């Protein structure tokens, strides 16, 4: 099942395309492109895990990131931490005690906004796996250029000249900021404006999720 939302172009977000159930040997999977940036995420679990890795209170979540280069880097471990932190806020892990859930992310193409693409793809894969969640989550990236202008979902060349880059994740219930990750220098006012612009843009990502889930439900129904 493939879903596309070309209307996002009108709001200066990259067009999004998604295919669920992309991998046959996982409990849930999704491949997502945002512009020319593409990630693939698979979800397995809840599964039995070794006693040493069990938690009596909730599922144990593991996030594995695989880059195109193959060899893991410090940046890859950072991405794993970011995505695990985000997923843990959403998954109702207390419903799956003494089990494990593994989220595997593969980098297919990075032309800017890759972290946001991975986070959004992870949300779609979790939905496809049928895991119970408190809320869905959406990530939007932006950059602040040398003149202080905020650019949503910047391209690779814009990132190379940006004074600061930011990725914000919002929940679907209150549009609250779940996690925020920034690099570079910026003013407090610029940060606040970036958060609000990304928060508004997250509505488009959530609308895309609904479109994907609706079309998938019609297919299996």
Domain with residue 115: its CATH number is: 3.30.230.70
pTM: 0.92
Residue with tokens 């895990």: 49
pLDDT at 54: 83
Please report, in tens digits, the pLDDT of each residue of the chain (221 residues total): 455 554 444 456 899 999 999 999 999 999 999 999 999 999 999 999 888 778 888 999 999 999 887 777 887 888 889 899 999 999 999 999 999 999 999 999 999 999 999 999 999 999 999 999 999 999 999 999 999 999 999 988 999 999 999 999 999 999 999 999 999 999 999 999 999 999 999 999 999 999 999 987 765 44
pLDDT at 50: 83
Give the residue from 49, 17, 61 showing the smallest Cα distance to 35.
17
Dist CA 52 CA 76 (whole Å): 25
Q: How many domains would you assign to the chain?
A: 1
CA 106 to chain CA centroid, Å, is 12
Cα–Cα dist 102/100, whole Å: 7
Six-digit token string for 16: 């999004």
N residues, the chain: 221
Report CA-CA distances (Å) from 213 to 73, 82, 182, 206: 34, 24, 30, 11
* Cα distance between residue 32 and residue 112, in whole Å: 14
Q: Which of 141, 44, 153, 145 is nearest to 100 (CA)?
A: 44
Q: Which of 110, 190, 74 is nearest to 142 (CA)?
A: 190
Q: Which residues contact 4 (CB under 8 A, 6 or more apart)?
A: 15, 16, 17, 18
Nearest one of 31, 7, 38 to 125, comparing CA atoms: 31
Short-list 163, 89, 120, 136, CA closest to 13: 120
Domain span at 168: 2-220
Q: What is the pLDDT of residue 220?
A: 47
Give pLDDT, residue 4.
Answer: 53
Distance, CA of 33 to CA of 118 (rounded, Å): 9
Q: Are strands 60-66 and 164-171 parallel, antiparallel or unpaired?
A: unpaired
Residue 2 is predicted with a pLDDT of: 52
CB 57: neighbour CB atoms within 10 A?
9
């Amino acid at each position: 099942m493939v879903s596309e939302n070309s209307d996002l172009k009108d709001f200066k977000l990259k067009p999004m395309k998604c295919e669920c159930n992309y991998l046959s040997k996982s409990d849930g999977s999704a491949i997502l492109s945002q512009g020319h940036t593409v990630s693939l995420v698979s979800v397995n679990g809840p599964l039995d895990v070794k006693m040493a890795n069990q938690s009596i209170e909730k599922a144990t979540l593991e996030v594995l990131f695989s880059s195109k280069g193959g060899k893991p880097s410090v940046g890859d471990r950072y991405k794993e931490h970011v995505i695990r932190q985000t997923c843990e806020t959403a998954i109702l892990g207390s419903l799956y005690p003494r089990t494990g859930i593994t989220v595997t992310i593969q980098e297919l193409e990075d032309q800017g906004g890759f972290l946001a693409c991975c986070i959004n793809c992870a949300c779609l894969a979790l939905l496809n796996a049928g895991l119970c969640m408190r809320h869905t989550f959406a990530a939007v990236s932006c950059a602040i250029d040398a003149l202080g202008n905020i650019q949503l979902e910047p391209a690779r060349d814009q990132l190379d000249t940006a004074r600061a880059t930011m990725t914000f994740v919002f929940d679907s219930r209150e549009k609250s900021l779940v996690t925020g990750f920034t690099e570079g220098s910026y003013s407090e006012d610029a940060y606040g404006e970036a958060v609000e612009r990304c928060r508004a843009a997250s509505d488009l990502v959530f609308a895309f999720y609904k479109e994907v889930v609706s079309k998938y439900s019609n297919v299996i129904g």
